[in-house]
Amino acid sequence: MLQIKNGGIETLVEDWPGRLGYLGKGMSASGAFDNVGLGLANILVGNSFGEAGLEITGGFFEAQFGIDTAIAVTGSDMKPVLNEKAIPMWETISVSKGDIIKFSHIGEFGFRSYLAVAGGINVPEYLGSKSTCIFGSYGGFKGRKLAAKDELVFGKPDDEPSDSTGRKLKKEAVPTYKREWILRAMPGANTSPDYASEKGMDHLFEHTFKIQHTSNRSAYRLEELPDNFFARSDGGVGGSHPSNIIDHAYAIRGALNICGNTPILLIADGPTLGGYMCALNVINADLWKIGQGTPGRDFIKFKLTNQEEATEARINQKKLLSEASLL
């Protein structure tokens, strides 16, 4: 059991791959925004990589353990302490009943920390996932972020939690965080020549975009595009602006929606359908980087890739999120 002392800025129960199969019902997948952070934390404590853990955004989370167990903290370095004593990240540590874990503000790099516990977080599955959709207020823990006095129950671990204590990751398994995130992306569904100009698409893949401070789990907003981005002068029957299109399903997670002149990455809790064109799609294996992109501080750059590389990146990520990454 975990008793929450301070929910911090935004702490959510999330799993991976989230709630798949309900886009047509207006429900996006949600899920851990940085699935690599959650996945490695899970592997460290002996869980499967997609087990539910805590996604700590912005920091200031504080909680007390009700049992002896094993935990791992990954993601942005929010200077986590256990009973006021610094604890290492990216490795398994044992905690005892009564111990208090506390996080400070976000680190130099990254925006989200992950806390995995042996056995995972035991909230009821809703439509096949334990993930919270904060945008729609469902799933996870009562469909909301955690607050003081909430009590979370842990699942039953397969092995003794103490078995995993002291586990570490191979050095090459720990992801490198930067302030400029290179996201591999495939163009589509609406590109040049019919929707965007080739110059516009070049701009999209050459420019470095600052992440706007309004970015959240539904949408990561980037700097505006120039008017010459568009191939059309208006949206035809779809609407007056050239970014308008007759409503179509959004390929989330990962679509770059062009809303007016603003490019918006549609991610975890994003809208599943709407009337704006989508110019590219961040490959599944790079979605995690968006989750570590800090609003108002970090930058995003898109790198052109193709299906073969993207599929291979998925396979490599699965390898990374396995016991093969343990030292």
Residues that bind other proteins (CB under 8 A): 9-10, 20-27, 57-60, 105-106, 127, 136, 138, 186-192, 194, 196, 198, 201, 213-217, 236-238, 245-251, 254-255, 271-274, 278, 281-284, 294-297, 307, 310-311, 314-315
The answer to whether the peptide bond before residue 193 is cis (omega within 30 degrees of 0) is: yes
CB of 197 to other proteins, least distance (A): 10
When the beta carbons of 36 and 283 are compared against other proteins, the nearer one is 283
* Cβ at position 109, least distance to other proteins in Å: 12
Strand partners, 73: 115
Q: How far is the CB of 243 from other proteins (least distance, A)?
A: 13
Distance in Å, CB of 79 to other proteins, minimum = 12
Question: What's the sign of the alpha-carbon dihedral 211, 320, 90, 9?
Answer: positive
Contact 256, 281 (CB under 8 A): yes
Closest C-alpha to 128, from 19, 38, 34: 19
Burial of residue 6 (CB within 10 Å: 0-12, 13-18, 19+) is middle
Could you tell me if 88 and 41 are in contact, meaning their C-beta atoms sit under 8 angstroms apart? no
Sheet containing 112-117: order of strands: 10-14, 53-57, 112-117, 69-75, 92-95
Cβ atoms within 10 Å, residue 91: 20
Least distance in Å: CB of 168 to other proteins? 28
Evaluate whether 65 touches 98 at the Cβ level (below 8 Å). yes
Residue 206 Cβ vs other proteins, minimum distance, rounded to whole Å? 12
Least Å distance between CB 28 and other proteins?
10
User: Which H or E element spans position 75?
Assistant: strand 69-75
Strands 2-6 and 81-82: unpaired
